[in-house]
């Protein structure tokens, strides 16, 4: 039997690597935990669409169970939501989420709510540290093959900019990043890249904002969250200034992104309904049975687009 020339062998090996994907073998479910920023979900959809288009042979299910107002610290300010309800606590629902989602890979983004918009103080910092350690332990016990924590996004104070509450988030982010060495955790940094971007833009445009309310980023801000995560996973998106640019070389990329976003908007509310929570004033999701029908319909549409571009 003739052997393949070395160049063909290397090419074949490279193609195999290209299709391998960024997650451990046999990864099926990728879970995102977090607060209202994760619930908004644009950064989740961007990551999902990018990985679908670049690893079309993989079949990952991206599950977003971000819950607005939630903390991992269990803290809540006395008059949260004008006194209508306290902040929900991840401790209350995590067991149910893990039992139903059975994730292989987990991303978790907490911190924005955990400091309660106040200056750094040990009485608030300690519960955050303890909560993150608890979360990592619970995810390990649940059998997650890979756990990746995200530092909190940037906070933009209306008067102080990044020198207000963001200084608290600086400390939370620095502690979390230090756990890469101390506890050998995986941590992808979105906080400091977003902070630098905002400060650089402010040098030429004093009114520039990533979030109109200082907390919840818009479309660009969500890309500035997705981009460091993709870079952390080894993807080549250094020059991309938007998810659309990152998908520009992928036939049907924008169409797939639209379908992914549409599907996520249905599934996130269905997952919250199925797993349960104590946060009032949330949209009522459809049943998981109905949501699965939508999921499968859109999955077929996405796969048809992937086959179509293969035939081009």
Model pLDDT for residues 109-154, shown as the tens digit of each residue? 999 999 999 999 999 999 999 999 999 999 999 999 999 999 999 9
pLDDT at 20: 80
Q: Which two tokens stand for residue 16?
A: 């195999």
- Is there a contact between 53 and 256 (Cβ–Cβ < 8 Å)? yes
- Is there a contact between 36 and 66 (Cβ–Cβ < 8 Å)? yes
Supply the mean pLDDT for the chain: 94
Domain assignments of the chain as residue spans, ordered by start = 24-310
d(CA 59, CA 312) in angstroms, rounded, equals: 22
Residue for token digits 């981009």? 227
Q: Between 6 and 237, where is the model more confident?
A: 237
Q: Sign of torsion, CA 88 48 244 202?
A: positive
pLDDT of 3 over the 60 cut: no
Instruction: Write the burial class of residue 163 (CB in 10 Å: 0-12 exposed, 13-18 middle, 19+ buried).
Output: exposed
Q: HEC states along 162-223? A: CCCCHHHHHHHHHHHHHHHHHCCCEEECCHHHHHHHHHHHHHHCCCCCCCCCCCCCCHHHHH
Model pLDDT for residues 14-43, shown as the tens digit of each residue? 444 445 899 999 999 999 999 999 999 999
- CATH annotation of 24-310: 3.40.50.1110
Q: What percent of the chain stands above pLDDT 90?
A: 92
Indicate the pTM of the whole model.
0.93
pLDDT at 76: 98
pLDDT of 213 over the 60 cut: yes
Q: Name which of 10-19, 169-178, 194-203 the model is least confident about.
A: 10-19
pLDDT of 311 over the 70 cut: no
pLDDT at 226: 98
> Residue 312 — pLDDT band, cuts 50, 70, 90?
low
């Amino acid at each position: 039997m003739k052997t393949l020339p070395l160049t063909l062998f290397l090419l074949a090996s490279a193609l195999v690597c290209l299709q391998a994907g960024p997650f451990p073998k046999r990864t099926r479910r990728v879970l995102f935990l977090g607060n209202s920023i994760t619930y908004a979900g644009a950064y989740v959809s961007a990551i999902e669409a990018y990985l679908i288009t670049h690893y079309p042979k993989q079949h990952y299910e991206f599950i977003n169970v971000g819950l607005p107002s939630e903390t991992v610290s269990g803290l809540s300010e006395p008059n949260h939501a004008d006194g209508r309800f306290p902040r929900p606590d991840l401790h209350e629902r995590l067991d149910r989420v893990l039992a139903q989602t059975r994730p292989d890979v987990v991303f978790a983004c907490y911190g924005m709510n955990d400091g309660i918009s106040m200056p750094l103080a040990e009485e608030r910092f300690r519960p955050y540290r303890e909560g993150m350690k608890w979360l990592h332990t619970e995810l390990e016990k649940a059998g997650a093959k890979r756990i990746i924590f995200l530092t909190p996004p940037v906070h933009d104070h209306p008067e102080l900019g990044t020198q207000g509450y963001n200084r608290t988030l600086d400390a939370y982010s620095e502690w979390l990043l230090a756990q890469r060495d101390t506890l050998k955790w995986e941590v992808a940094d979105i906080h400091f890249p977003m902070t630098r971007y905002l400060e650089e833009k402010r040098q030429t445009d004093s009114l520039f904002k990533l979030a109109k309310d200082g907390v919840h980023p818009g479309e660009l801000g969500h890309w500035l969250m997705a981009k460091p995560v993709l870079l952390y996973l080894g993807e080549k998106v250094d020059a991309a200034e938007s998810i659309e640019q990152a998908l520009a070389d992928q036939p049907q990329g924008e169409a797939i992104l639209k379908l992914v976003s549409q599907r996520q908007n249905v599934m996130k509310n269905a997952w919250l309904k199925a797993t349960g929570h104590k946060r009032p004033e949330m949209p009522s999701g459809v049943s998981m049975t109905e949501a699965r029908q939508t999921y499968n319909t859109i999955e077929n549409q996405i796969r048809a687009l992937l086959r179509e571009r293969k035939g081009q």
